[in-house]
Structures are given as C-alpha cells and as structure tokens.
Amino acid sequence: MFDRNSDLSPSGAEQPFASLRAGPAKTLHCGLQALRRGDAALVLTAQRRSERAAMLGELVRLVGPGLHRTVRIEGGETGLNLAARLARESICAIAGLPQKRTAPHVPERARTLLVIDDADMLPASALSLLAEMRDMLTGARVQVLLAGSGNLVVTMCTPRCDELWRRVRLVLSLEEAAPLAGAQIARLEQDIARTQARLEAQRRILSIFADSDPRAAPD
C-alpha cells in the first residue's frame, strides 16, 4: 500500500515493514528489538486489554537505558483532546517548531517513549498528530508505541494517517492465550477431582480400620 522503505532508522539501516502474530515471549522480544533500534512508531494489537497492559508494562520495563522518559496515555480517556493532553506532557509536533538542540544533561541519542493504550478509540484526526514529535523538555525525538484492538490498524490505513503509517516498521499481534489457559484450568480441575476422590477413599479406609480396631472399643 505504501513505500515502507522511504524512512531510515537512526542507524541508517533500511528497516522493511513486517507484521507478526506471535505469543507473549516472541512479541516481547521483537517489540524490544524495534524500540532499541529506534523505530519511530510501533503498533501492538491484542483483543484482551489485560494482556496488552501486561505487555506494555514489560516493554517499558525492559527497553533499556537509552529511554530518557516515558509518557503513558489512555486513548479512551483522551479522545479528541489528544493535542491538549500531549501539550501538558510537553510533547509537540515537530512541524512548525524551531530546531532545538538536545538538553545538555540528556544524552544525544536519548529517546522519549510515548505509550498510548486503547489507541483504537482515537479518531484518525487525532492519530495523525503522532507522525513526528519532539519532547520539548529534552529536545529528544519521540518514539510512539500504539496499542489497541485490531481496529487500530484499520484506522491507521486511512489516508488521514498516511504519514504516521509510513513510519511504522512493525505491527505485532499478540496471540490470545485463552484456549491454552482454558485447557490448563480443565486439567487442574480434573487433577483436583482425582485428588479429592483419593482423599475420600482414604478416609473410608481409615474409618473401616478405626471401627475394627479393638483398642477403639469402649471399656
């Protein structure tokens, strides 16, 4: 749909677009790789909000020392007021801003990570603001990590989000763990039922021995 190789990562190496559907371990590994190499934008989709939140937490925790600060926003709470919310966090679109050097106390390659969960609840007009931004506190470029349901990708493929979508090098789709969890729960329930049956049988055997023990007879 778009020329994915028109932008380069900070290292200068071409990063072709990829879409990956995987379990938690591989999703975490690939997400960390994308953030550490400096991808401008990364998309994570998962149907279960709890699974998305857990994955976002691990990505932020493990991404490494190159991350100067993290800003987390909930798309469902922000809605059409995304620009105002970003301004409160001192994050602004680069377009129209004067060139600003990185703050002296901040490493030259430091990054600010903007994490937006429930990004699928934002309209295309709001998402389009995220194409290229700067942290006004540090002068650092901003990496964007967008998370939501599969509808997020549909919205980002609209013409209004063209510039942001061009900056995405990786879309990660977290596989649902529900079928595996359900099977595990079923096995645990079976194990519990068997254990309870064995305990009940042992109680009956002990009761029989107790009744036949002459020492238990009354004087």
| Tens of pLDDT, residues 27-81 | 999 999 999 998 999 999 998 899 999 999 999 999 987 788 899 999 887 766 8
- Per-residue pLDDT band for 13 (boundaries 50, 70, 90) equals low
Clarify whether residues 199 and 108 are in a common domain. Answer: no
Please name the amino acid found at residue 6. Answer: S
Report the predicted TM-score, pTM, of the whole model to 2 decimal places.
Answer: 0.70
First to last CA, the chain: 94
Judge whether residue 205 has pLDDT over 80. Answer: yes
Number of domains into which the chain is organized: 2
Average of per-residue pLDDT across 171-183? 72
Domain span holding position 59: 18-176
Task: Give the number of other CB atoms < 10 A from CB of residue 182.
Answer: 10
CATH code at position 34: 3.40.50.300
- Determine contact, residues 174/22, Cβ cutoff 8 Å: yes
How far is the C-alpha of 127 from the C-alpha of 142, rounded, in Å? 14
pLDDT value at residue 6:
38
219 or 145: whose pLDDT is higher? 145
Pairing of the two strands 133-135 and 91-93: antiparallel
- Altogether, the residues listed in the chain come to a count of 219
Clarify whether residues 172 and 184 are in a common domain. Answer: no
Clarify whether residues 148 and 109 are in a common domain. Answer: yes
Judge whether residue 148 has pLDDT over 70. Answer: yes
Question: Is 74 inside a domain boundary?
Answer: yes
105: left (phi over 0), alpha (psi -120 to 50) or beta: alpha
Question: Is 67 inside a domain boundary?
Answer: yes
- Per-residue pLDDT band for 14 (boundaries 50, 70, 90) equals low
Clarify whether residues 25 and 128 are in a common domain. Answer: yes
